Structure 1
Amino acid sequence: MELFYALPGQIDRKAGVVMLDGDEFHHLVRVLRKKRNECIVVTDGKGTHFDVCVTAIEKSVLKGAITAERTVARSATTVTVALSLLKAPPRFELFLEKATELGISAVIPMITARTVAQPPGDRITKRLVRWKTIMLSASRQSGRYYLPDIIEPLPFGKVIGLSGYDRKLIPYERSPHTVSDVRCTGGNVLFLIGGEGGFTAEEVLCARDAGFTEISFGRSVLRAETAGIFAVSMVRARLLEQAAGEWL
């Protein structure tokens, strides 16, 4: 099933109308060659499934009538990864794409003591637009009803002070705790992933004081983006093992 995304302003529930433009219009009309009276599935990225019948195709807008809607339940486990900005932007973008496909709920770009890449504010704005586009494309490909969030970069100190997380984990190569020792499902889960060179010993201590549990991903040293992808994959695998029909 192909899923298409509409912004809040493109959905009029009272009138029962959806209007799609931009990339969604291009994909629907230019690539898939959708015609009037065909049916499509649209979501607002916040868990709503809309059955839509195409009523009109104009120069740059596809209009459709909502024939049915329902809410898709969200997983009881949400995963946020705070990943250090990386020296090579394509590696950070690879993480965004794959983590989105695997079901990540939110990404926090992070600045640590060893973060090499710290772009100025004007570049960050442009990168946020690009990052959101990458995550939207990955969400479309994987058929996600909930779009993951991504915010402006935060310093390490602010990240470890964030509230609202039930489980807070920091992968660290010297940790005695293996993945089988630590519960990583249920509620809101936050992983901290360091960049090139990993975390400093002081940062690990600060995270521990802030309530984070150290966890080892094995003997081999993973690249930052690989560690982030592994963290989301690990949670997804645990959920599938539970045989509860729940995954990210």
Structure 2
Amino acid sequence: MSVHRFVVSHPVTGARTLISGSELHHLRSVLRLGPGDHLVVSDPSGTQFAAVLETVRAEEATARIIAPLQSRGVQPITLFQAILKGPKMELVLQKATELGVAEIVPLEAERNVVRLDGQKVEAKLERWKRIAIEASKQSGRASPPAIGLPVTPREAASRVAGFDTALVFWEEAREVAPVRLPQETAAVRVAVFIGPEGGLTSAEVEMLESRGATRAGLGPLTLRSETAAIAALAIVAYEMRRGEATARA
């Protein structure tokens, strides 16, 4: 039986921690957990702790900390994902979280169908963060990925130099380009760029390439943006873990 996971908003520094808000509602009203039940608690630093419930009240629950747990699964990958229509974007956020991505940055590409104004951005970010938290708990991550503010392709291009490898997965690159990562995989930071339903424009791809990014393909078929994101992230995450295993051998 799997152990349920809960995220607290404060650092866990003592022998006990409090669970409140929406996490308390889930614990108390949905799962109906009670004193003596075991769970895993994650704090804002991303540290996970094995814990056991001591009390459950209407306003808060108290859990006794047993021991810290080893973090697992998170890779230093930043996904620059063109903003998609509601369910599609949420699917990408969920699966990117499950695949261990460290950061997700919404990309305001030229061909985006969805355009967010100031009020919509705030509401969307809150919803996306909730989705990432739930996906983190389901997949056993210590903490959810960071969800950045939307950026333009030009702003994203200015960040390329901060990565060891930046890959632009583009439908015009029909061949399956090998994912080449530096040998010192433990220190590698990888950026993955995925365009919208209409694809990135050639000007956007060229701008990213001018800053050091490399175009990559996912084969001869045209994939939906959400499919391309999941496939690309799975390939990159696999290659990073394979490199780490080779380095340890």
SS in 1 for 2:131: helix
**Which consecutive segments of 4 or more residues in structure 1 shift more than 6 A?**
none
Alignment of 1:1-248 (within 5 A): 1-9=2-10, 11-14=11-14, 16-44=15-43, 46-72=45-71, 77-86=75-84, 88-162=85-159, 163-175=161-173, 178-180=176-178, 182-183=180-181, 186=185, 187-239=188-240, 241=242, 244=245
Paired positions, count: 242
Kept in 2, the 8 Å contact 1:46–1:147? The answer is no
Q: Distance in 1 between matches of 2:139 and 2:69?
A: 19
Q: Distance in 2 between matches of 1:171 and 1:184?
A: 18
Deviation at 1:96, TM superposition (A): 0.8
Once the two structures are superposed, residues 177-235 of structure 1 have per-residue CA deviations (whole angstroms, 9 ceiling, x without a partner) of 63435338931110111112211111111111110011111111111111111111112
SS in 1 for 2:245: coil
Q: Distance in 1 between matches of 2:94 and 2:73?
A: 20
Task: Identify which range, 187-196 or 59-68, moves more after superposition.
Answer: 59-68
TM-score (norm 2): 0.87
Once the two structures are superposed, residues 47-80 of structure 1 have per-residue CA deviations (whole angstroms, 9 ceiling, x without a partner) of 31212222211113111122322452675x4111
Q: Distance in 2 between matches of 1:7 and 1:205?
A: 43
Deviation at 1:238, TM superposition (A): 2.6
* CA spacing shift, 1:141–1:165, aligned 2, 3 Å: same
Kept in 2, the 8 Å contact 1:79–1:190? The answer is yes
* CA spacing shift, 1:37–1:245, aligned 2, 3 Å: farther
RMSD: 2.5
Structure 2 stretches lacking a partner, 5+ long: none
Aligned-residue sequence identity (percent) comes to 29
Structure 1 stretches lacking a partner, 5+ long: none
Kept in 2, the 8 Å contact 1:47–1:71? The answer is no
* CA spacing shift, 1:39–1:181, aligned 2, 3 Å: closer
Select the structure with the greater relative contact order (CA < 8 A; seq sep ≥ 6): 1
Deviation at 1:130, TM superposition (A): 0.5
Task: Identify which range, 200-209 or 16-25, moves more after superposition.
Answer: 16-25
Deviation at 1:41, TM superposition (A): 1.6
SS in 2 for 1:113: coil
Q: Distance in 2 between matches of 1:81 and 1:70?
A: 27
Deviation at 1:240, TM superposition (A): 5.2
SS in 2 for 1:119: coil
* CA spacing shift, 1:230–1:121, aligned 2, 3 Å: same
Q: Distance in 1 between matches of 2:82 and 2:244?
A: 33
Q: Which amino acid aligns with 2:228?
A: A
Once the two structures are superposed, residues 126-173 of structure 1 have per-residue CA deviations (whole angstroms, 9 ceiling, x without a partner) of 010000111111111111113101111111100011142111010123
